[in-house]
Amino acid sequence: MKISKEADLSVDFCGVKFQNPFILSSAPPTTTGEMIKRAFDAGWAGAITKTLAREETPNVKPRFGSLSYPGSPEEPKKIYAFENIELITDRPFSVWLEEIEDIRKSYPDHIIIASLMDDASHPEGWKELAKKVESVGAHMIELNLSCPHGMPEKGMGAAIGQNPELSGMVTKWVTDVVKIPVMTKMTPNVADISQSAKASVENGASAISAINTVAAIIGVDLETFVPKPAVSGYSAHGGLSGRAIKPVALKAVATIGQAVDVPISAIGGIATWEDAAEFILLGASTLQLATEVMVRGYGIIEDLKDGLSNYMEDHGFASIKDMVGVAQKKLKALSDLSKEYKVVSSVDESKCVKCDICYISCQDAGYQAISLREDRIPIIDEEKCTGCSLCYQVCPVWDCVAMKEVSAG
C-alpha cells in the first residue's frame, strides 16, 4: 500500500493556465456572471460567456426539447439527446463587460473567456467587441462561427463557419486587434470540418473548439402536427447536444487534430470522466460541457475531476499533456487496416437467455452463421462467421457473446 498522490489535472492551453481541463461552454449555464462565479466555486477551471454581440437578442418560449430512454418505475427517464432553439445572450454588452471585469478581480485563478458574434460584413463590430472584452481582462476570446439556428439567417454563426474563406477573414479581423489568444468554434454541419479550422489557424487563431450543436429537429407532435418545440403553433430547427452527439464530436476532434497544430477544446456530449478521457486521448486538451450541467448542475465537476485523476493515476499518465492525442496515433485510413486479422464470435452458454436475437440478426443481416440447438442455445459456424460482431452488438446480456481472435494479422 502506498500513500496516493492526486494526479495533476492542470493544463497549459495556448499559453493560458487552467487548473483542470473542464470549462463551461458558451450556453445556458453561463447566462450571467453570478452563475459563472458559482461554477468556479464548485470547481470549474474556466467558463465561456454566452455569446456576446453589439445588441441583445430576445428569445422565444419554450426553446428546449429532449429525447429520453423510455423510463419506468425501475429505470427513471434519462435524457440522451437535447435540442435548443435558444439564441445568444439576451443581456446588454455593457453589463457583460462589468461582469467580466468583476470576475477577473474576484477569481484570479480561474479563466474567463468571452464568446463573440457579429456578421461577416462588420469588421468594425468584431474589432470593437474584441478590444472591449480584452480591455476588461478576458483571458481569451472564442469566436462563435457555428451557431446553427436563428443566427445563420442573419449572416452570423454557422453562416460564417460553413465558409472557410469567411472564417479566415473574421478570425483575422479579431487577431489583428487583440493580444489575448483567440479560439474559433467550429460547426459540425459541414462536409469537412477541418477546412474552416485550417483557415482560422492560418489567420492567427491560437486554438480551435469543436463542435457546436448539430442542426436538428427533435421530433413532431403527432396530435398537433407541430414540430418540437412548439412556439405558438410553429417551430424552427435547432441544435442537438448531449450524449447522442458524442461520436460526431469525437470524429471532429480527431479530424481537426490531424489538420492543424494548435490545441483543441472538445465540446459535444461530454457527460462523464470517461467521455473526457476519450476526447483527451483523441487530441483535446480542454473540455467544454453544457448539456450535462443543464441536467445535473455544476456539482458534476467533482466526479469529472476525481474520475479523470483516478484514471490517469491507474494508467500512469502524470499530466493531461502526456495523454493528449495518444489514441489519435492509432487512427489510420480504413484501407490501411489489416485484412489478415480475424475474429469469430463465441457464446457463453451459461449466460445465454435463449432470446434468439443474435440468431435473427445473423440470419437477416449477417452471413447465416448462427443456428439454434434444440434447447435454443445459438451455435456458431466458425467457417461461415465473418467476424462482423453484429451478434455481439445486439446481444442483450453483458459478456455473453465475445469476439475471439483466431488470427493476429
Partner 1 sequence: MTRKVFEEAEKGYTPQEAVAEAYRCIKCQDAPCNKGCLAGIDVAKFIRQIANKNFGGAIRVIREDNILPGTCARICPQKELCEGKCSSTELAQPISIGKLQRFVADYEREKGAKLLAKLEPKNHSVAVVGGGPAGLSAGTTLARLGYDVDLFDANPLPGGLLTYAIPPYRLPYEVVKDEIEYIDALGVRIHSESFIEDIAGLLDKYEAVFVGLGLSEGDRLAVEGEELEGAFQGLDLLREIKLAEIGNRAIQIQLASRVEIIGGGNTAIDAAVSAKRLGAQDVMVRYRRTEREMPAWRGEIEFAQKEGVKFEFLCTPRRFLEDGGRLRAVEYVRMKLGKKDRSGRPRPLPIEGSEFTVEADSVIIAVGQTIRPGILEGADKTPQGAIQVDEETMATSIEGIYAGGDLVNGGDTAVRAVGDGKRAAFAMDEYIKKKQKSEVRIGSGRKDKYA
Which residues are tagged catalytic?
147
- Per-residue cell: 103: 470576475
CA 319 – CA 10 distance, rounded (Å): 7
According to the binding rule CB under 8 A, does residue 396 interact with partner 1?
A: no
User: What's the CA gap between 202 and 193, in Å, rounded?
Assistant: 15
4 versus 94: smaller Cβ distance to partner 1? 4
Using CB under 8 A as the binding rule, the residues of this chain from 111 to 150 that contact partner 1 are: none
Single residue of 297, 341, 354, 393 touching partner 1 by CB under 8 A: 297
1: contact with partner 1 by CB under 8 A:
yes
Q: Is 73 in the site for partner 1 (CB under 8 A)?
A: yes
The answer to whether 41 contacts partner 1 (rule: CB under 8 A) is no
Contact window for partner 1 (CB under 8 A) among 141-149, 183-191, 253-261, 307-315: 307-315
Q: Pick the closer one to partner 1 by CB: 90 or 303.
A: 303
Spatial distance between the Cα atoms of 166 and 199, rounded to a whole number of angstroms: 9
Among residues 273, 279, 298, 359, the one that binds partner 1 under rule CB under 8 A: 273
Instruction: Give whichever of 165 and 306 is closer to partner 1, judged by the CB atom.
Output: 306
* Shortest CB 19 distance to partner 1, Å: 18
Find the binder of partner 1 among 31, 32, 59, 272 (CB under 8 A): 272
Site membership for partner 1, residue 223 (CB under 8 A): no
Q: State the Cα–Cα distance between residues 60 and 329, nearest whole angstrom.
A: 45
Contact between 76 and partner 1 by CB under 8 A: the answer reads: yes
Place of cell 483543441: 264
Q: How far apart are CA 1 and CA 4, in angstroms?
A: 9
Q: Can you spell out the DSSP letters for 299-349?
A: THHHHHHHHHHHHHHHTT--BHHHHTTTTGGG---GGGS-SS-EEEEEE-T
Residue from 314, 336, 374, 383 touching partner 1 (CB under 8 A): that is 314
350 binds partner 1 (CB under 8 A): no
Radius of gyration of the chain from its Cα atoms, rounded to whole angstroms: 24
Q: What's the CA gap between 201 and 259, in Å, rounded?
A: 10
Does residue 398 bind partner 1 (CB under 8 A)? yes
- By beta-carbon proximity to partner 1, the closer residue of 2 and 105 is 2
CA distance 243 to 237: 19
**CA–CA separation, 357 and 31 (whole Å):** 47
> CA-CA distance, 347 to 228, in Å (whole number)?
43
356 binds partner 1 (CB under 8 A): no
Residues at the contact surface with partner 1, assessed by CB under 8 A: 1-4, 73-76, 78, 272-274, 296-297, 302-303, 306-307, 310, 314, 398-399
